[in-house]
A and B are shown apart, each in its own frame.
Chain A
């Protein structure tokens, strides 16, 4: 590990990508080979699901590489676009009324760009309070000006919540880059890896154990044991990756555990929200207007990023 620590930041990132794409390539090759064998209907469905997951991983990894290549501006732009698409999907499914038109315009065309602009500028203070303080006031004001009292609280809560998750939450992912200068990209990578790992392990554990679900009406698979397993495995992965972070091994273990727990619980909350909206996936189900299912992919990150961001900041303050 000391060899790895002695590499320059750029070399370490390059090495990371080599490993990442190498593992993905290997998994894809094995999947391709296994796919040649005969399969019955159920196995076929499972394979298709797996193939979808794998494609999403490839896209995610590719985007991440692109963000790293293009630097801070690129990362900001990329995450801004993802925020936009995720918010678009969210608003599509949580119906709004006519009176919300102006508030929605504000959310999409003012709040979102300004949040990312603040990020690109590095004005951290305003970045952290812009949406919870200023936009929080502006949205209900516009809504009230539209003169429609019907379900006023519910409508404004929907919009504010969407902004908090899709814009405020997600913007903390590229904000990690601000925290730690040249090595910020590692923190982002660390976060994404850990959260993705927790999700994968949790899903596998749910299918393996088939425990009694904690909240059947929200998520038929979610059990505390599967959730804890996911977080634990992710925490150990984090500890194993400690050399790319500013933390020592125990610190990395704790940080990874926090991020994984926040991400998987966030996903759980999103499934409750989906049930409320009357959809199963934020995706391209035939009944649903043509969403792409992006929100399903980024939701865990939306919840994990702010928690992780502030934990890291706190950690740095403890040990300057």
Chain B
């Protein structure tokens, strides 16, 4: 909980409302809760990653009261490089910063672990990078380690659909096209489950949420 919750609306809250409104106007940002209801439980949402807008979409698709405690992961070097970026990620999105440059003495997952210990929910994109191929790439192992350390936190797969059409790589302005975020059933780490097996299962859970493609639409977004 942020301390400013008791005060009248801050500039960051207003910014948050404006951003959510714009996201809804441009993309609809519809959340389809197929496998679980939107509840204020501690969760890790993991989703496919195709665009810069992915985080904003998931965030806008969440009910308003869940937004404050659901945090994105942001690369520290990029998102603290200017005052506005820093303010946006810190005050509006309440991001968890991670260092991209790997140092030997520090576990890269440490900031995430801290956030989970404090009871926050996280949104992660386990592919690590944006892919504009249709299917997500193999998942990185961070999800597995978090699942191991926090068995009580629900792991919710999510599929973000259509967003690559809104803002293809290299473009700055988004085109209004409807997008959906489909949330699936919680996933758990089975006892003794192998790391690779779990990550593949998690990836498949995300892929399974993909809505059926429309027939006769050969002009689908180009690969």
Interface residues of A (CB under 8 A from B): 84, 87-89, 91-99, 101, 104-105, 108-109, 148, 150-151, 154-155, 276-279, 286-292
Could you tell me if A278 and B177 are in contact, using CB atoms closer than 8 angstroms?
A: no
Could you tell me if B222 and A278 are in contact, using CB atoms closer than 8 angstroms?
A: no
Q: Compute how far the CA of A318 lies from the CA of B89 in the bound complex, rounded to whole angstroms.
A: 64
- Asked if B215 is at the interface of the complex by the 8 Å CB criterion, the answer is yes
Could you tell me if B215 and A105 are in contact, using CB atoms closer than 8 angstroms?
A: no
Total chain B interface residues with beta-carbon distance under 8 A: 26
Count of inter-chain pairs, beta carbons less than 8 A: 78
Residues of B with C-beta under 8 A to A97: 219, 221-222
Given contacts A92-B162, A98-B168, contact A287 B214 (CB under 8 A): yes
Residues facing A in B199-223 (CB within 8 A) are 211-212, 214-222
Q: Compute how far the CA of A95 lies from the CA of B177 in the bound complex, rounded to whole angstroms.
A: 10
Could you tell me if B168 and A289 are in contact, using CB atoms closer than 8 angstroms?
A: no
Q: Compute how far the CA of A92 lies from the CA of B28 in the bound complex, rounded to whole angstroms.
A: 11
Residues of B with C-beta under 8 A to A292: 28
Query: Would you list the 4 A-B pairs with minimal beta carbon distance, nearest first?
Result: A290-B30, A278-B215, A92-B178, A278-B214
Residues facing A in B11-44 (CB within 8 A) are 28, 30, 32
Can you name the residue of chain A whose Cβ is closest to the Cβ of B25? A84
Could you tell me if A98 and B221 are in contact, using CB atoms closer than 8 angstroms?
A: yes
Q: Compute how far the CA of A150 lies from the CA of B178 in the bound complex, rounded to whole angstroms.
A: 24
Q: Compute how far the CA of A148 lies from the CA of B221 in the bound complex, rounded to whole angstroms.
A: 12
Residues of B with C-beta under 8 A to A286: 211
Given contacts A92-B177, A289-B179, contact A101 B211 (CB under 8 A): no
Could you tell me if B168 and A101 are in contact, using CB atoms closer than 8 angstroms?
A: yes
- Asked if B173 is at the interface of the complex by the 8 Å CB criterion, the answer is yes
Could you tell me if B175 and A101 are in contact, using CB atoms closer than 8 angstroms?
A: yes
Q: Compute how far the CA of A299 lies from the CA of B77 in the bound complex, rounded to whole angstroms.
A: 49
Could you tell me if A88 and B219 are in contact, using CB atoms closer than 8 angstroms?
A: no
Q: Compute how far the CA of A92 lies from the CA of B177 in the bound complex, rounded to whole angstroms.
A: 5
Could you tell me if B180 and A290 are in contact, using CB atoms closer than 8 angstroms?
A: yes
Could you tell me if B168 and A95 are in contact, using CB atoms closer than 8 angstroms?
A: no
Could you tell me if B175 and A287 are in contact, using CB atoms closer than 8 angstroms?
A: no
Could you tell me if B211 and A88 are in contact, using CB atoms closer than 8 angstroms?
A: no
Given contacts A89-B178, A289-B179, contact A276 B219 (CB under 8 A): no
Residues of A with C-beta under 8 A to B173: 105, 109
- Asked if B107 is at the interface of the complex by the 8 Å CB criterion, the answer is no
Q: Which of A104, A105, A288, A290: most chain B Cβ within 10 A?
A: A290
